[in-house]
Structure 1
Amino acid sequence: MSYQADPGTRVGHVHLKVADLERAVAFYRDVMGFDLVQRYGSQAAFLSAGGYHHHIGLNTWESRRGHPPGPGTTGLYHVAFLYPDRPALARALAQVVAAGVPIDGAADHGVSEAIYFRDPDGNGIEIYRDRDAAEWPRKADGTLDMVNAPLDLRALLAEA
Structure 2
Amino acid sequence: MSTARTADFGVGLASVNHVGITVADLDRSIAFYRALTGREPAGPVELPDTPEMARCIGVEDAALRAATLRLRNINIDLVEYRRPASGQRLAVNAPTAVHLCFEVDDFDGVYERLSAAGIDFAGEPPPVGPEHGVPKTAYFTDPDGVHLELILPVGPLVRTGEG
TM range (shorter): 0.5 to 0.7
Aligned partners of 1:19 and 1:63 also within 8 Å: no
Ranges in structure 2 where 5+ consecutive residues have no aligned partner? 1-6, 47-63, 159-163
1:73–1:130 CA distance, 2 compared to 1 (3 A)? closer
1:32 touches 1:92 (CA, 8 Å); kept in 2? no
Change (3 A) 1:12 1:90: farther
Residue 14 (str. 1) matches residue 19 (str. 2): yes
Any conservation in 2 of the 1:117–1:125 contact (CA below 8 Å)?
yes
Q: 2:101 aligns with which of 80, 84, 91?
A: 80
Separation of aligned partners in 1, 2:75 and 2:122: 23
Report how far residue 101 of structure 1 moved.
1.2
Conserved? CA contact 1:43–1:60, under 8 Å: yes
Query: What secondary structure, in the 3-state scheme, does the structure 2 residue paired with 1:116 have?
Result: strand
**Mapped pair 1:96 → 2:114:** yes
**TM-score normalised according to structure 1 size:** 0.62
Change (3 A) 1:73 1:113: closer
Does the 8 A contact of 1:79 with 1:126 survive in 2? yes
CA deviation map 1:6-55 (0-9, x unaligned): 5x8244321011000111111111134333233215811111224x6x52
Contact 1:18 1:64 in 2 (8 A): no
1-side partners of 2:109 and 2:84: how far apart?
32
8 Å contact from structure 1 (residues 18, 66) kept in 2? no
**Which residue in 2 is equivalent to 1:28?**
33
Q: Distance in 1 between matches of 2:108 and 2:39?
A: 16
**Aligned residue for 1:118?**
141
Residue aligning to 1:57: 77
Give me the whole-angstrom Cα distance separating, in 2, the residues matched to 1:26 and 1:32. 10
Deviations 1:70-100 (A, max 9, x none): 55854323111223x2x2x334323321220
In structure 1, what residue type is equivalent to 2:71? A
1:19–1:64 Cα change, 3 Å = farther
Change (3 A) 1:35 1:58: same
How far did residue 102 of structure 1 move? Answer: 0.5
Q: Taking structure 1 as reference, are residues 34 and 94 closer, same or farther at Cα in structure 2, changes over 3 Å only?
A: farther
Q: 1:97 to 1:33 in 2, by over 3 A?
A: farther
Matched residue of 1:35: which SS? Answer: coil
Quote how far apart the aligned CAs of 1:65 are. 6.4
Structure 1 regions of 5+ residues with no counterpart?
Answer: 136-160
Q: In the alignment, what sits opposite 2:44?
A: 39
